Amino acid sequence: MKNLLTVDDLDPSAATILVRSDLNVPIADGRVEDDFRIRASLPTIERLRAAGAVVVVASHLGRPKGVDPTLSLAPVASEMADLGGFPVNMLDAVVSDDVAAAIRAGRPGDVFMLENTRFEPGETKNDSQLAAALASLADAFVLDAFGSAHRAHASTVGVADHIRSVAGPLLLDEVTALSRLLDDPPRPFTVLLGGAKVSDKLGVIHALMPKVDRMLIGGGMCFTLLVAEGYEVGTSLFEPDRLADVEELLRGPYGGRIVLPRDLVVADRFAEDAEPQVVARDAIPDDAMGLDIGPVTAREFAQLVRDSAGVFWNGPMGVFEWEAFRRGTEVVADAFRGHDGFTVVGGGDSVAAVRMLGVEADISHVSTGGGAGLEMLEGRELPGLVALERWGR
């Protein structure tokens, strides 16, 4: 990991610190549905409060096109206050004279939350004027949003052009955990991939194949690989335009490390109340779609996870939100219970699954970043880290 300044390099006492957190959480009916990222952001904010800083928290939420009241961070501020046990002053804009005046009036230990950074059209364009306005609110900047570090936005990259900028503890923990898998993974090293589309994971598959001992592939993405192997997959989701890429992987020098499902749970339609049926991979009915890995595959994948010293898991094995198609993900998640190796789970659906199934505490590192984690494992530079590196020279 390249040199980065950290919170230890700041004197937060009586200073105003802008913290870019990743608070992009699911909201329904004005309430936070999953508080994982809020909880993960709290230790950094609490540390700065305790040191006497005025803390200004910035984050995006969703993908609004302009100001969208349904994507206000107000419910997030309320949830953070409840979880942290301290007041969070919700501001009504990202940057404005009123926002700046409210922050200037803050006292040591106060916490302010800016409105959704993506309400500003300049955020995703890394607009220099917006970045300068954000920077003018504070004395220093802490990037703690690993889940947004792969985006070159005004609140993740642009601010660092204007004020002293450091890496937050959460960001450092994420980079350290993923760097270990990249640079010196414990062996045997197993990667477990799921989710809907193989196109989303091709980059990380190519990058990790030479490093892994086994790559287990389930979820909807497995069907493109099964088609490439000559199997009929019924009405299952697969990506015809990725068949050539997948065939190259399977027939390449590391193709033998890929483990595909031997059996699957299928149904005649994509519905929660559809009747599940277990079939071998060479016996998928023409009118059926795969919605989970089967029991034989689940046991095989779970045993390979148990036998590994290092594991990275991204993507559920099936439609785990529906009980009839949860078992594959559940059996694999159970393999992490009491695991004494180094295990990392990343990606929103995977994290939701391990939390739902009660194995979060058994995992060495649960990552807050899906896309950012995959890009790092692909060996790509994250713009947020590059911006910080200038201050660490």
Which residues are part of the catalytic machinery? 37, 197, 348, 371
Check: CB of residue 163 under 8 Å from CB of residue 285. no
Tokens at 105, concatenated: 């009036």
Residue 284, token pair as written in the block: 């998928």
Report phi then psi at 142, rounded to 5: -115, 115
* Contacts for 306 with CB less than 8 Å, ≥ 6 apart: 335, 339
Tell me 169's DSSP state: H
Q: Are 65 and 29 in contact (CB under 8 A)?
A: no
Cα Rg of the chain (Å, integer): 22
Burial 105-130 (b: 16+ CB within 10 A, else e): ebebebbbbbbbbbbbebbbebbeeb
What type of residue is 25?
V
Phi (first) and psi of residue 248, to 5 degrees: -65, -40
d(CA 294, CA 260): 11
Distance between start and end Cα atoms, the chain: 13
